[in-house]
Amino acid sequence: MSQSENSTIVPPPEALGSAVDTTSASYVRRRDANVDRLQRVLERLSEIKRGGGDKRIEREHSRGKLTARERVARLVDTGDAFYELGAFVAEGMYEDEGGCPAGGTVMGLGRVSGRLCMIVANDATVKAGAWFPITAKKNLRAQEIALENRCPIIYLVDSAGVYLPMQDEIFPDKEHFGRIFRNNAVLSSKGVPQIAAIMGSCVAGGAYLPIMSDEALIVDGTGSVFLAGPFLVKAAIGEEVDVQTLGGAETHSEISGVTDYRMPNDETCIDTIRELIGRLGPRDSAHFERSPSVAPAFPADELLGVIPAGGSQPYAMEDLLARIIDRNTWIPYKSDYGRTIVTGYARIDGWSVGIVANERSVVKNAAGEMQVGGVIYSDSADKAARFVMNCNQKRIPLVFVQDVTGFMVGTRAEHGGIIKDGAKLVNAVANSVVPKFTVIVGNSYGAGNYAMCGKAYDPRLILAWPSARIAVMGGAQAAKTLLQIQVAKLKKSGQEISQADQIAMLAEIEERYRSQSSPEYAAARLWVDEIIDPRATRDWLSLGIELADMNPEIPPFNAGVIQT
């Protein structure tokens, strides 16, 4: 039977996207704007990596200690990358407290003795490693990633404990400090290896973290662990005792038996962790399908000239994807239907994936009507939901590429059942059991954020480009809406608002909204795991799938009740 006689035959993989003129004015304009954005992010990242500053770094060195970042660099295999997560956590927050760069914690993924691990290191140069509310959220995210991927987790502990002036925001609730130790227990029950090194202070409730790990190392002379320090002991029971006698390496290695390994210095401690990780036994995996890697059809550097400088400008999503996926591996799914969402099968660094991405060009639907790019219509929601369910049936990881302004609104859309079709997509994404990964390349507005697997829908990793914008709606619409509310409120109280005052108010609202929808604002609050260089997207996604492959458990897929 010929292919023309049987339309169910899957077509061979095809080329995706097109070449771009890198000398054109539009390309150069886009590239320059995105390079500028990226440079600002990298410059701020460089400042964040200095932690509490040079003087505090020198103080750690004078005590014979490595800094958190120096410890991580020694721990990760030589020549291998450390993929930092949450570097922008707390950015712009806690300014009244003197700031808290990276939330006082270095966190990320790296290979240790060849094994991919989650690494969490307290930064003692930032408020002596004290835990702010966002620090707890960041540590919980590290444990969440380790748990859902069955990834070994290494804690490098050096913390003064809870930041007491904000204890009411970190202590008792479900997502607060105590959840850390609950997660220690759950990780252990699932067989996820946990190794903790006490390389500085480890006080009060924080003492449970290393001791609830599988194995605990302690550094002689600098490491200490106790439920109450010398000052509190004296206040509570009148006993006078020094730090090392109370909870130092000798005490816990020779008397209490609390720790397992006594280390002479930071360097030996880290080298020992590498040995311990290197002796972990073999583990099963999910066995996600992977072929030999093939380079994309076009260079990743061109991504900076593909994505527009402004969030309202159109571009072809296929041109963007063609610079990320393996060459000639694209199999489009329902390419002529629901065209404001692109769906299809591809490979990324050899890994088989399903891709769901918002089309940003203006496209024509089956009725010949023009549809605005970035908007989810009923037909595109219906298509994407079906594709997500197919990937779950086939056990294929999903990659969502967001540049979405939301769902279509208006009488025609409502009468056509946009809420029903949108709910269908949200349902499929929410109940998806295969690993999901989300990259926000442009807009991420309103319910579009949800339907395209925003943070609330459990992506294994959620990453943002410097061009990302995350908010309940676009800035212009939001500012005008907020202005109308403020003007109405002032008029109700009897105040007259001049046109000039309204223009000034609108400008102020727009600036505030612009700041709150920036990728830095989102990353500070862990709405995204990291702001990444667009050119590294392929590497991040490959790493994420490799990480997800470590967990062999994939439950059955059940979408529940879906309206049709």
289 three-class SS: coil
How many CA atoms lie within 13 Å of 182's alpha carbon, on the beta-carbon side?
A: 11
Q: What angle do CA 18, 398, 174 make, to 5 degrees?
A: 135
Residue 265 contacts residue 200 (beta carbons within 8 Å) = no
Nearest CA-CA partner of 81 in 105, 110, 112: 110
Tokens of 182: 């609950």
Token pair 């676009």 is found at 474
Specify the pLDDT at position 513.
78
- What whole-number distance in Å separates Cα of residue 110 and Cα of residue 119? 7
- What whole-number distance in Å separates Cα of residue 182 and Cα of residue 164? 21
- What whole-number distance in Å separates Cα of residue 88 and Cα of residue 266? 26
Specify the pLDDT at position 515.
84
List, as one string, the DSSP characters of 38-59: HHHHHHHHHHHTTTT-HHHHHH
DSSP one-letter code for 290: B
Exposed / middle / buried, residue 372 (Cβ in 10 Å: 0-12, 13-18, 19+)? middle
Residue 39 contacts residue 32 (beta carbons within 8 Å) = no
Tokens of 27: 């390309």
Characterize 84-118 residue by residue with b for buried, 16 or more Cβ atoms within 10 angstroms of its Cβ, and e for exposed. Answer: bbbbbbbbebbeeeebbbbbbbbbbbbbbbebbbb
- What whole-number distance in Å separates Cα of residue 392 and Cα of residue 433? 7
Length of the chain counted residue by residue: 564
- What whole-number distance in Å separates Cα of residue 543 and Cα of residue 304? 22
Element (DSSP H or E) covering residue 340: none
Nearest CA-CA partner of 341 in 306, 313, 397, 383: 383
Token pair 């200490």 is found at 224
Q: What is the identity of the amino acid at 23?
A: T
Nearest CA-CA partner of 275 in 208, 184, 197: 197
pTM exceeds 0.85: yes
Specify the pLDDT at position 161.
84
- What whole-number distance in Å separates Cα of residue 524 and Cα of residue 438? 18
Specify the pLDDT at position 371.
82
End-to-end CA distance of the chain, in Å?
A: 34
Low-confidence ranges of the chain (pLDDT < 70): 1-12, 14, 475
Specify the pLDDT at position 475.
67
Tokens of 469: 């914008």
Give the chain's radius of gyration (CA, Å).
26
Characterize 299-313 residue by residue with b for buried, 16 or more Cβ atoms within 10 angstroms of its Cβ, and e for exposed. Answer: ebebbbbbbbeebee
Specify the pLDDT at position 522.
97
Specify the pLDDT at position 527.
97
